[in-house]
Amino acid sequence: MGYRSYVAVGDSFTEGLNDPLPDAPPPVPGEVVRYRGWADRVAEGLASLEPELRYANLAVRGKLIDQIVADQVPLAVEMKPDLISFCAGGNDLIRPGSDPDRMAKKVAAAVRDLRATGADVVLFTGTDPRDTPIMRRVRGRFAIFYLHVRSIADLYGCHLVDMWSMQGLRDWRAWSGDRLHMNEEGHRLVAARVLHVLGLPGEDDWRKTWPPREAVDQRAKRQEDVQWVREHFGPWIGRRLRGTSSGDGLAPKRPDLSPLPPFTS
């Protein structure tokens, strides 16, 4: 038997950046772009087994653990779904001075509340940041937090999706140009891994092996790095200095449990 209701809780990763919706029109400057993402893909897989599935996605880009716990977790508890996915911490970890031990206590309390509803809960480790020039400097902080997540999953009987071990996600072809969010292929791999962890069938295999890449042109790579700083890293630093977030004022894309619309790909 499949799940009849599923609620996704988290930040931009769970909202689905940057996996465009099928047949979506080109983005318009100044307008909020909506995305598909691994959670939508998992919901589609669940719906193929249980056509009456209802699905809510409460995730909002840019949110920190405290915000997710305060704003999204109570809603998920109130909905009392069969399945809840919870992923938080990425935005905290990249901020100076973040404390993975304190973060883990917040996660543990939230997971305890989610599991108390009787729902199955899916937790996630993040990917290994060793291939990211800026974030690899705080790789130890990431590792400590995700070891806590593994322990929390064991303690409360949760499913664990270990993205740290997913070699297919170590290739930049699974990531979008901002180097922080997965592209369509990355989200497809994560969705396949979630369904595998749940013991459910899926169309895709998360154990992706990428074909060899051509030799990297170092001059072109330096130009890409400069462009990335200008288009992505610079604006991110600007938001930190202003105390703003990309998710400020943005509502969840699926705030209520409801049936899925049809997808074409």
Q: How confident is the prediction along the chain (265 residues), in pLDDT tens digits per residue?
A: 589 999 999 999 999 999 998 877 777 776 778 899 999 999 999 999 999 999 999 999 999 999 999 999 999 999 999 999 999 999 999 888 999 999 999 999 999 999 999 999 999 999 998 887 777 889 999 999 999 999 999 999 999 999 999 999 999 899 988 888 999 999 999 999 999 999 999 889 999 889 887 776 667 666 766 676 677 666 766 666 577 777 788 999 999 999 987 654 5
Q: Which domain holds residue 192?
A: 5-209+217-258
CA angle 76, 77, 80 (to 5 degrees): 90
Q: Tell whether 66 is covered by a domain.
A: yes
The 3-state DSSP class for residue 70 equals helix
Q: Where residue 20 sits, what CATH number does that domain have? A: 3.40.50.1110
Q: Tell whether 263 is covered by a domain.
A: no
Number of domains in the chain: 1
CB 166 within 8 A of CB 193: yes
Q: Tell whether 265 is covered by a domain.
A: no
Q: Tell whether 32 is covered by a domain.
A: yes
Going across the sheet that includes 83-87, the strands are 159-162, 120-125, 83-87, 5-10, 54-57, 254-258
Q: Tell whether 176 is covered by a domain.
A: yes
Contacts of 70 (CB under 8 A, 6+ apart): none
Q: Tell whether 162 is covered by a domain.
A: yes
Q: Tell whether 127 is covered by a domain.
A: yes
Q: Tell whether 70 is covered by a domain.
A: yes
Dihedral sign of CA atoms 94, 98, 14, 156 in order:
positive
